[in-house]
Amino acid sequence: MSEFAESIVSELSALYEGKARQRYGLTQVNQRAHALQAASKARELGLGDALVVAALLHDIGHMIHPLGDKPSSEGIDDHHEVVGADWLERYFGADVTEPIRLHVQAKRYLCTVERGYLGLLSSDSVQSLALQGGLMSDTEVAAFRMTAGWREALSLRRIDELAKDPDGPAPEFGEFADALRACARPSWQAEQD
């Protein structure tokens, strides 16, 4: 395996060990547990390496933005989905980054078009929904359905809500190293970007 892929695994593992120990919003799990539960659920559902990695990393933007631990409690949308996807583009292709970029829009979409979905959201997700734009208009729904990766983003979004169980699985970050390596961009491609 390439040295570049190994450096990705090391950097991400260190980030999750160092910055993902804080509680995930109002839930009883921390960012690390949420990420690992999401990746476990994606793997359990047989969604493939790209969605397993997207599930693992979908909230990385919360850990790398400069807005502090809980900007939503101050009425600030941290745009973590865009921050995270943009940051990850140096390591991964669109099959990983686009579901991450779209997972908040997927929440807005599902709340708009699927009866009962809003009731499945955690209290944090309901609170942040307003900051993230609320329900979609008909025009936004149509535009979302035209966006590449929207179906994968819906899968990621559904997994996101299932990954907040204080008694859920607690695998190690390293259990997903092979998926991270498999999805890593070639080092020459990352250098050109």
Give pLDDT tens digits for 41-59: 999 999 999 999 999 999 9
pLDDT higher than threshold 60 for residue 15: yes
Amino acid identity of 124?
D
More confident residue, 148 or 17: 148
Residue with more model confidence, 121 or 108: 108
What does pLDDT average to over the chain? 85
pLDDT for residue 188 = 45
Q: Which pTM does this prediction carry? A: 0.88
Q: For residue range 143-191, what is the model confidence (pLDDT) as tens digits?
A: 999 999 999 999 999 999 888 888 887 788 889 999 999 999 876 455 5
Query: Which domains are delineated in the chain?
Result: 3-192 (1.10.3210.10)
Residues 6+ apart with CB under 8 A from 175: none
DSSP label of 26 = T
Of 31, 20, 29, 38, the residue nearest 156 (C-alpha): 38
Cα of 64 vs its chain's centroid, Å: 13
